[in-house]
Structures are given as structure tokens and as C-alpha cells.
Structure 1
Amino acid sequence: MRVAVLAPVAWRSPPEHYGPWEQVASLLAEGLVAQGVDVTLFATLDSLTSAALDGVVPHGYAQDPALDGRVQEALHVAHAFGRAGEFDLVHSHLDWLPLAFERLCAAPLVTTVHGFGGPAILPAYRASRSALVSISDSDRHPDLDYAATVHHGVDESLLPFSADGGEDLVVLGRIHPDKGTGEAVRIARAAGRRLVVAGIVHDDRYFREEVEPYVDGDRVRYLGSVGPQQRADVLGAAAALLHPIDFEEPFGLSVVEAMMCGTPVVAYRRGSMPEVVDEGVTGFVVADAAAAAAAVGRAARLDRHAVRARAAARFGAARMVTDYLAVYAKILAAQGLPDAGGTPSGPGMPHVTSAGPARRD
């Protein structure tokens, strides 16, 4: 099987710090290669991969003000689609833009919908014949058909288990009202715990008003953006991860990363959280700040070995790769094309849930 994985180009694949979509695309490409699939990763040219690497964007446009993101993404998609006829399938992780040029793609197109930026982009999805994959059942839009739901996986080797944890709480993610960083400060204070804040600032005013005034280096520490190695250390050293989101989050990689380290989660009941957190096993899903503060102690007493085991079973990278291979086989079969090999069968298969045709008419 020859697969083109089309990664975003805001950041390198895999990202050095922030870049969740790039992280998933990179991990999938590596897993497919390990399964014997012939993979070309279309990404920034400074990306690191065991697949064949191709692209036209020198490095992530988010870190270079001289690069216009709209232009770089358009050039990136045009280059990849120019080679599409060389592949059995193209798998896009680049939001709506490739859908606008889908008719130029000479191979079946699969699109992982990492989350909608807003209803204004829905016309691109409605007009497309791409097979759509949702990253959680909660994130499915009622107007669209999906080939499958495939939960993200994470690299277990980069998230070692921490049996002891610690006493402090952690909130990890972009600092923005959606992520509830300021809410996490209030929850930690109500719970009588120190808080570690990690993530890039996506809303300067929110950071200045809701987070920075409470950063004292003791009760609240701000680490900035943390890369993969430091992220694992920060998550593994926590008693629990706070995830008081204020939007319908499509998935939540930091939640799964924490659980993989054995660290339980206290999250708000929004978006995919009831789907991702196993109540009373890997954490608790609550309604508000008072309930979150009350749940912190219970979360800290959960069996960290059980947290890790459940996370590994549900969100390991190998499971994600197996699920996507099943999706690819389904898409190729719907196209009347032979599966060129590399598609496993077995325990991973039932995770892929069908919801309508693989391709939409």
C-alpha cells in the first residue's frame, strides 16, 4: 500500500513544542512505516520521519513572520496533490483547504477532521467527496457523513509511567479562555494545591489578566511551552491534570498524555471528555469549578497503574494505526481498488465505527 500523509505546516512534524495536528500526522506516518506501508509524509522540509519526506515549505510558518500561512498551505497542498497519482490513498490532516482542491487529487482522499474552526467552513466539507474521519463521536457534525471515528493515539515511549506522581496539580495546553487556564488557577486554590501551568500563550490579554497575576513561582508556576521530554516529566510529577475547558473540545491530547503517565484527570463535562475519561478509573468529569476542586482528592487517590493500563489499551499509537489501516481498506474496497497489503485484522478492528458510506455522493 502506498499512502501519502498530508501534515499541516504551521509547525514541524513532529513538533518541537506545540503542534497537536502535526503530532498526530507524524505518529501515524511512523506507525504505518513500522507496519510495512510505503509512506510519503508531506510536511515542512525540516521534519523528522522514517517515511519518505516531501514538501515545499522550509519550516513551520507559525514560527516565521516572513511566511504567510495561507500561501504556504496552498503551495503545500498543490505540491502534494500534484503527486497524488503515485499513491493508493492520500490522508489529509490539514483541515478544510485540501477539500477545496479535491478534484485535483488523483487518489482517494481521507480527511481526519481535527475540529471545526466554525460553521463558515462547513461548505467545504459538504461539497467534498472525501472520506471523513472524526476524532471523537462527540465531534461529529449532524450534516456530515463519516467513514469512521478514530481516537488519537500517543507515543507511549515518550510518556513513561510515573508510579508516585506528586502533590501538585498541572494544567497543560494553549493559554486561552477555551482551555480554562484561569479557571484551573481558581480550582487549584480551592483545592489547596499548588499548580503548574504549561503551554504557549494564545491570548495575550487573557494571560495578563487571568493567569500572570497569580504566577508567584510557588503556588502557581508557569513553565511556558514544554517539549515532549519535559512534558512527560511535568505530567508524571502531578497528582492530577486539570482540564476545565470552556468549549466542545474535539479530543484533548494533553488528557491522554497525562493518563499515559499514570496521572488522573479532572475535566469539565464538555465535548469529548465523557468519551475520553473513564469515570472513576482514569479520572472524573465534572460540571463546574466547585465540583472539580472536590474531585481533586478523589482523583489523586486513583490507582495510577490502572490509569496507565486503561490509557495504553485505549490510546496507544499502535491502536490508532490499526484503526486507520482498517479505514484505508474500507475506502479502497469502496473504490473497487485492491488492498495492496499492510491491513491487519484482529482485536483492533471493532474500534472503527461505521456511520454512512465511506464516500459521499
Structure 2
Amino acid sequence: MKVAMLGPIAWRTPPRHYGPWELITSLLTEGLVARGIDVTLFAALDSVTTATLDGVSPRGYEEDADLDGRVWEALHVSYVLSRSHEFDLVHNHLDWLPLAFSAHCAAPMVTTIHGFSGRDILPAYRRARSQFVSISDSDRAAELDYLATVHHGIDLAGLPPGPGGDDLIVFGRIHPDKGTDLAIDIAERSGRRLVICGIVQDRAFFTERIEPRIDGERVLYRGSVGPAERAAVLGSGVALLHPIRFAEPFGLSVVEAMACGTPVIAYRKGSMPEVIDEGVTGRLVADVDEAVAAVAGVPGIDRARCAERARERFSADRMVEDYLAIYRKIVSSKGRPG
């Protein structure tokens, strides 16, 4: 089987720091190659992979101010589709743009929907010649038919269980959707220090609501934390706070923290009830008051059991096997939607 992995190009694959779509694309690609699948990864050309690397963008456009993301994504998609006749299947991780041109794809296409940026992009999905995979059952549009749900997997070797500690951790992009300000409120009322890690995605929100509360003592900001430090940070907390204001499609940092033995206190939105095992890997709450109460009780969650459950459910190996089953189904049936 020859697979064209149509990866995103916002960041290098795998990402140096932030880049969840690139991270999943990398883990899947490497897992397939390890199983003897012939994979060509179409990604930024500074990417690192054991697959055959191809593409047109020299770097991720978020890492080079001279690259216009709209232009380079269009060039990227065009190039992959021009070579699609060479493959048994094209796996799209690049959202709606390849779907708009999917009629020109010479091989069956499967698209992992990593999350909808808004309902206004649904026309590209409804008209596409592609099969769809959701990353959680909660993140499905009623208008679309799905072939399967495949929960993300993580690199367990790079996320060993940690010793825990006294700090609360918040990990992810700094944006109102992620509730970084709410995490500060929860930590303050819980009497615990908060360590914030992540890129600043909403500069005004950071400047007005977050930065004035960073004092270097009770609230620390460590910036974007890369793979080398990720496990140490996630494994050092008493809990990860995830007080989201939106329907989170999955939440990689959530399962990464749980794999490190650190339970998660998350708002009951989106995929969180699907991802968190109540009382085992974390607590689901509705507001700041419930989150503060959960922090007080979280030392009662067994860290070893938390890590064990997360590692059973969210390994990269499981994810790769799930996708292989999908590929075989598509290729054996020619995979072309009606």
C-alpha cells in the first residue's frame, strides 16, 4: 500500500513546540513506516521523518514571516493532488482546502477532521469526494457521514509517569477559548501556584487578562514548552487545569498529562466527558467553584492508575492500527464515495 500523507504546513512536522495537527501527522506517519507501509509525507521541507519527504514549502509558514500561509497551502495542495495518481490513498490532515479540490484527486481520499473553525466551512465538506474520520464522537457535524472515530494517540515513550507535585498546570494556546484567565482564578482560590505553558494566540487577551497577573511567584509563564520538556512539566503537577469555554474537539495536552499520571480538572464541554474517566484520570466540572472543590480532592486520585488508564486508551500504536484498518477498508472497496 502506498499512502500520501497530506500534512499541514503551519509548523514543521513534528513540531518544535506547538503544532497539534503536525504532531499527530508525524506520529501516524512514523507508526505506518514502522509497519512496512510505503508513506510519502507531504509537509514543510524542513520536517523530520523516516518516510519519504516531499512538498513545496521550505518551512512552516508560522515559523517564517516571509511565507504567506494562504499562498503556500494552495501550492502545497496543488502539488499533492498532481501526484495523487501515484498512490493508493491520500490521507488529508489539512482541513477544508484539499476538499475543495478533491474532485481532482486521482486516489481515494480520507480526511481526519481535526476540528471545525466554523460552520461556514461546511460546504467544502458536504461537496467533497472524501471519507471522513472524526477525532471524537462529540466533534461531529450532523450534516456529514463519518467512516469512523479515531481518538488521537500519543508517544508514550516520551511521556513517562512523573512524580507529581504541588503546582497546578495549564498547558495550551493562550486564548479565551482555553480559559487561561479562569485557570488563574481557580489556582488563586485554591491557594496553589499556577504554571502556564503555551503560545500566545490572542495577543490582546494575553496583554489585558493574563500578563498583569503573572508575578513570577504565584503565577508563572514558561512560554511554549517543546517535546524535550513536556513530560517533565506535565508530570510535575498535582493537576492540569482545562477550564475551556468551547467544545474542545479532543485535547492532546489532556491525555498527555494523564499519561504522565497527572489528573485533569476540565470543564464538561466537547470531548472532555469522552476523554476523561471520571474519578480515575480526572474530574469534570461546570464552573470555577466546582473546579476549586475538585482541586481540593484531586490528591485522592491515584496517579499510577491515572497513567495506566490513559496509556491503555491513548497510545500512538492503537491510533496507527485504527487508521490501518480504515485504509484497508477504503482501498479494498476502491474507496470512492458515490
Fold shared by both chains (TM-score > 0.5): yes
Matches within 5 A, 1:214-293: 214-293=213-292
The answer to whether the aligner puts 1:151 opposite 2:139 as a matched pair is no
Partner of 2:181: 182
Quote how far apart the aligned CAs of 1:359 are: 5.6
Partner of 1:63: 63
Partner of 1:109: 109
Quote how far apart the aligned CAs of 1:179 are: 0.3
Q: Give the secondary-structure state (helix, strand or coil) at the position aligned to 1:137.
A: coil
Q: CA offsets, 1:308-348, max 9 Å, x none?
A: 1111111000000000001111112332xxxxxxxxxxxxx
Contact preservation (8 Å) 1:155, 1:317 = yes
Structure 2: any 5+ residue segments left out of the alignment? none
Moved over 3 A (4+): 358-361
Quote how far apart the aligned CAs of 1:33 are: 0.5
Partner of 1:45: 45
Partner of 1:76: 76
Supply the distance in 2 between the matched residues of 1:50 and 1:63 (Cα, whole angstroms): 22
Q: CA offsets, 1:30-55, max 9 Å, x none?
A: 00011111111000000000001001
Quote how far apart the aligned CAs of 1:267 are: 0.2
The answer to whether the aligner puts 1:122 opposite 2:122 as a matched pair is yes
Distance 1:182 1:359, change over 3 A: farther
Q: CA offsets, 1:118-145, max 9 Å, x none?
A: 0110000000120000000000100000
Contact preservation (8 Å) 2:258, 2:307 = yes
Structure 1: any 5+ residue segments left out of the alignment? 336-357
Partner of 1:315: 314
Contact preservation (8 Å) 2:103, 2:129 = no
Partner of 2:139: 139
Contact preservation (8 Å) 2:165, 2:238 = yes
Quote how far apart the aligned CAs of 1:81 are: 1.1
Supply the distance in 1 between the matched residues of 2:92 and 2:298 (Cα, whole angstroms): 37
TM-score scaled to structure 2, two decimals?
Answer: 0.98
Quote how far apart the aligned CAs of 1:300 are: 2.7
Supply the distance in 1 between the matched residues of 2:316 and 2:176 (Cα, whole angstroms): 30
Partner of 1:338: none
**What is the count of residue pairs matched by the alignment?**
338
Quote how far apart the aligned CAs of 1:297 are: 2.5
Q: Give the secondary-structure state (helix, strand or coil) at the position aligned to 1:225.
A: coil
Contact preservation (8 Å) 2:242, 2:265 = yes
Supply the distance in 2 between the matched residues of 1:300 and 1:30 (Cα, whole angstroms): 36
Contact preservation (8 Å) 1:264, 1:300 = no
Supply the distance in 1 between the matched residues of 2:299 and 2:38 (Cα, whole angstroms): 44
Q: Give the secondary-structure state (helix, strand or coil) at the position aligned to 1:40.
A: strand
Contact preservation (8 Å) 1:243, 1:266 = yes
Partner of 1:348: none
Q: Give the secondary-structure state (helix, strand or coil) at the position aligned to 1:4.
A: strand
Letter in 2 for 1:119: R
Letter in 1 for 2:88: D
Supply the distance in 2 between the matched residues of 1:219 and 1:300 (Cα, whole angstroms): 20
Q: Give the secondary-structure state (helix, strand or coil) at the position aligned to 2:145.
A: coil
Q: Give the secondary-structure state (helix, strand or coil) at the position aligned to 1:251.
A: coil
Supply the distance in 2 between the matched residues of 1:170 and 1:281 (Cα, whole angstroms): 18
Partner of 1:12: 12
Q: CA offsets, 1:262-296, max 9 Å, x none?
A: 11000000100000000000001110111011101
Q: Give the secondary-structure state (helix, strand or coil) at the position aligned to 1:111.
A: strand
Partner of 1:88: 88
Q: Give the secondary-structure state (helix, strand or coil) at the position aligned to 2:138.
A: helix
Partner of 2:23: 23
Contact preservation (8 Å) 2:239, 2:263 = yes
Supply the distance in 2 between the matched residues of 1:240 and 1:334 (Cα, whole angstroms): 46
Letter in 2 for 1:79: Y
The answer to whether the aligner puts 1:160 opposite 2:160 as a matched pair is yes
Contact preservation (8 Å) 1:185, 1:195 = yes
Quote how far apart the aligned CAs of 1:204 are: 1.0
Letter in 2 for 1:170: I
Supply the distance in 1 between the matched residues of 2:296 and 2:324 (Cα, whole angstroms): 40
Supply the distance in 1 between the matched residues of 2:104 and 2:299 (Cα, whole angstroms): 52
